[in-house]
Structure 1
Amino acid sequence: MNTNNKPSGAPVIGPLSSSSAPASRPQRGRAAPWILGLVVLAAAAGGWWWWKGRAADGQAGGPARAASAPGNAGAAGGRGGRFAANRVQPVSVMPARLQDIRHTAAAIGTISASNTAVVRAQVNGVLQQIHFTEGQQVKAGQTLAQIDPRAFQAALGQAEGQLARDKASLDNARIDLARYQDLLAKDAIARQQVDTQQATVRQLEGTVKADQASVDSARLQVTYTKVLAPISGRVGLKQADIGNVVQTGDTNGIVSITQTRPIALTFAVPSALLPRITAGLKGGTPMAVEAWSRDGKTRLATGKLATADNAIDLSTDTIKLKALFPNEDDALFPNQSVSVKLQLATEQNRLAVPAAAVLRGAQGFYVYVVNADNTVNTRVVQTGAVDGDWMAVDGKIEPGERVVIDGVDRLREGAKVEVIAADPKQRAGANAAPRRGRGASGPHGAASGASAASGASAGAGERPAWLDRLPPELQDKVMKMSPAERDAWIAERRAERAKRQAASGGGN
């Protein structure tokens, strides 16, 4: 019974609703401390777990992390990367030595023939024979070609006939003169007739001489039908073929000959070197000149300085020089451009090291020397002249001490090194026979798992089974590495694979 006469649907706002509100507030207040405590405990547990994981990683997992981290791809034995102090670095060495160091002047020169001749026909006619091979060496006077001689032989016969006829007339005139002189002595003939006969004899003597000259000229024309080499040298390409009509006015002639033994080299050097060059030319020992290929890798010939020009070129401030080379092997050709090395002087018994071993730093020029315990230390040197691949130096280096010529970029003072052959083909394992086997490989051909580990620790002469999974060009590259380089290479491949896996996991 509703004593308040309220509608049945109206909300009840009585003592029940007013007493329930204070009851809910104390419940929320009691729950807040428990939640805060759980959060603190979780944070403490997370911090303890992180600290323990880092400590364990530093004690037991450091090498693995260093090997797999991209920034430490080469440090298989700990932190520090490729320049780690405790890592053995592979290097190539050469011993310092005492040797003669030449002082040279470099230039660019042009080869020229000592003499050049264009062989032309001296008579007009049909070319019947060719007696040379293109490019061969010929001697002066050697027959090179034959021109049809028949017309010239006919002219020679005609001249010889005329000479014979005039000789007969001369002989008859001389007989008559002798007879007339005998009659004159008997006073049986007039002196005028004798004088006339004497004039006739002298006239016929002149005719005979002219006929003899004609014969000699015709005979000379016949000899001209044989084309002879005017100089010794190398013949070029033929300019006329058999059956062609050759003439004395042909511009190209039949063939050209260049005298290449000896052959000349003309080049220019700075005029400042002229006093030393003049002294060398006046001395008893000729100055040596070397001709090299344009890339400077191949020595073509060695000759002697012959002479210098009579004036300095004002436009370039250089002096032209000429050298002669025997050229017995025909290594030099006319108009060939070569690199030139003129030897000016020689230092005897100088301490020298390979030029590749000399570095430059804050302290000046220095080299790395490998000690008996396979550690390196730097030696400051003063550089001198360079002769080929060797450089003269002055410093605290003894002949026979080993200096580093390859691998210096990975060295520091006191670093441990492993000496390997300078030529990759001579390194251990470079020529090992291929061996087929099973092994796993990463996405880019890098070995992984147990196969990679066995390959990293394989001996220098062994071929890892997983290597057959790599492309051929990559197999050769890996086999030429030293064990330390191979370890670093494998570690880099692992790091790359880990990064790709992390990137693919993050994308999903």
Structure 2
Amino acid sequence: MKDPMDLDTPLKPPPAPGSDSPATAAPEARRDRTAPEAQRTDAPKRRSILGRVLAWLVVLALIGGGVWWFAFRPAPEMAARGGPGGFRPGMPTASPVVTATVEKGDMPIRLNGLGTVSSLATVTVRPQVGGQLTQVAFTEGQAVQKGDFLAEVDPRPFQLAVEQAEAQLLRDQALLKNARLDLERYRLLVKQDSIAKQQRDTQESLVQQYEGTVKADQVAVENAKLNLSYTRITAPVSGRAGLRLVDPGNYVTVGEAGGLVVITQVQPISVLFTLPEDNIPAIMARLRDGAHLPVTAYDRTRDRVLATGTLTTVDNQIDVTTGTVKLRAQFDNADQSLFPNQFVNVQLLVDTLAGVPMVPVAAVQRGAPGTYVYVVNGEDSTASVRPVTLGASDGAKTVITKGVQPGETVVIQGADRLREGAKVAATDGAAQPAAPTPSSEGPRPQRRPQRNAS
């Protein structure tokens, strides 16, 4: 076996510079043959990708154009009919709107609050003398008048006490009478110098002593009679009797803890309610002028008027935790529609603005110009934006203190389709049937919040 390193083995000469060896020439030839084929394969792929990119660009351009058109389009303009069978472009179509006339009238300023009916007097009837309760003359829930007979404590012990006091008075009056007669005799004897003056003076002191005793006896008689009168229990105030707390036959004591019955005055009756502190200056100004501010009480749902009364009292301090002030109104409550501790909605009429411009609440718009209305120009039937300053409102109409004048026409429906200078086809809102509303008395005040387990 020949050694690979045998010098006798003929060696192949190295390739000349610039010439390719057989090992490298074959791959180069293969690359030269496959390059055109790869280019022919990649060209359709590049054309497909480019087509999809162009298609997406067209779609995005269409979407962007549509968004721009709807966001920045001018006032609605459509081809108006030029006659039978065709349209004539360039003529703006009038937008249908409902209008109302700015009125000049009186606007009541009402404040709404939450209130609780409160009795002007609530009295617990208690016995003023102790003894057995022999009679109860009232029925539960009965309307009683001041002085009406309610119950009776056994009067016999107190009648005996009166008779005993009167007997003691008679006895002491007799002693006083005798002492006075003796005093007259002693004075005569002193003038005759028959007795010492000291004896007369002693008799004068005895007379004064008996006079004091008689005076005390008279007081005792009056006290006994007073206690006897206390056995007959009467109503201290007019009102409605509550539930009977003690039955006949029970022994009652002075100042009985639970009392016999509770009487609550319901005619007249009051309502305690609260209002925000910001409203107090206007109320106090009216009260200083001597005005009698009317107050209306509504039921919990504000569907029914319960009673009308007058504001009587404003509390002397503000509740810092709520920023409100307590007020009291008084009601005759002739039909007893107000019941103690009943929850009511309260409406206070503070003042009435006379002869002010008013528009329906629906006419007022809010946007970039602030608060504004659309005013219809009668000459060319176009709508223009008019900034306004608002005043008081009753929930249906709003006072305009600045911006419009009585007699002008404002848009109350269809304002969302309008722009400055847009053509309108106006319909008078007064000619349309009024939509039913739950109440025309003003905005509904809030209801009493539900108590938490607050």
Q: TM-score, normalised by structure 1?
A: 0.53
1:199 aligns with 2:205: yes
1:272 aligns with 2:278: yes
Query: Alignment partner for residue 112 of structure 1, among 78, 100, 118?
Result: 118
Alpha-carbon shift at residue 135 of structure 1 (Å): 3.3
Q: C-alpha separation between the residues in 1 aligned to 2:291 and 2:119? A: 25
Query: Alignment partner for residue 387 of structure 1, among 369, 388, 394?
Result: 394
Moved more, 390-399 or 317-326: 390-399
Query: Alignment partner for residue 329 of structure 1, among 325, 328, 335?
Result: 335
Secondary structure at 2:206 match in 1: helix
Q: In structure 2, do the counterparts of structure 1 residues 224 and 335 end up closer, same or farther at CA, with 3 Å as the change threshold?
A: same
Residue identity opposite 1:237 in structure 2: L
Deviations 1:322-362 (A, max 9, x none): 2222222222222222212222321235566776x769698
Matching of residues 70-469 of structure 1 within 5 Å: 100-349=106-355, 385-387=392-394
Judge conservation of contact 1:287–1:344 (CA < 8 Å) in 2: yes
Deviations 1:365-415 (A, max 9, x none): 889x9xxxxxxx99999776443655557979969x9x999xxxxxxx869
Deviations 1:241-295 (A, max 9, x none): 2333222231221122233333222222222222212211201212222222222
Q: In structure 2, do the counterparts of structure 1 residues 351 and 127 end up closer, same or farther at CA, with 3 Å as the change threshold?
A: farther
Judge conservation of contact 2:296–2:347 (CA < 8 Å) in 1: yes
How many residues are paired up?
Answer: 326
Alpha-carbon shift at residue 166 of structure 1 (Å): 1.2
Alpha-carbon shift at residue 191 of structure 1 (Å): 3.1
Q: In structure 2, do the counterparts of structure 1 residues 163 and 380 end up closer, same or farther at CA, with 3 Å as the change threshold?
A: farther
Q: In structure 2, do the counterparts of structure 1 residues 346 and 154 end up closer, same or farther at CA, with 3 Å as the change threshold?
A: same
Deviations 1:66-85 (A, max 9, x none): xxxxxxxxxxxxxxxxxxxx
Q: C-alpha separation between the residues in 1 aligned to 2:229 and 2:385? A: 77
Q: In structure 2, do the counterparts of structure 1 residues 343 and 241 end up closer, same or farther at CA, with 3 Å as the change threshold?
A: same
| Higher-helix-fraction structure | 1
Moved more, 267-276 or 177-186: 177-186
Q: TM-score, normalised by structure 2?
A: 0.59
Deviations 1:419-469 (A, max 9, x none): 77867xxxxxxxxxxxxxxxxxxxxxxxxxxxxxxxxxxxxxxxxxxxxxx
Moved more, 345-354 or 229-238: 345-354
Residue identity opposite 1:387 in structure 2: D
Residue identity opposite 1:255 in structure 2: V
Q: In structure 2, do the counterparts of structure 1 residues 295 and 359 end up closer, same or farther at CA, with 3 Å as the change threshold?
A: farther
Q: C-alpha separation between the residues in 2 aligned to 1:314 and 1:322? A: 19
Residue identity opposite 1:173 in structure 2: A
Q: C-alpha separation between the residues in 1 aligned to 2:128 and 2:317? A: 40
Alpha-carbon shift at residue 157 of structure 1 (Å): 0.5
Residue identity over aligned pairs, in percent, reads 43
The alignment yields a C-alpha RMSD, in angstroms, of 4.3
Residue identity opposite 1:290 in structure 2: T
Q: In structure 2, do the counterparts of structure 1 residues 99 and 302 end up closer, same or farther at CA, with 3 Å as the change threshold?
A: farther
Deviations 1:39-61 (A, max 9, x none): xxxxxxxxxxxxxxxxxxxxxxx
Q: C-alpha separation between the residues in 2 aligned to 1:182 and 1:397? A: 107
Q: In structure 2, do the counterparts of structure 1 residues 342 and 203 end up closer, same or farther at CA, with 3 Å as the change threshold?
A: same
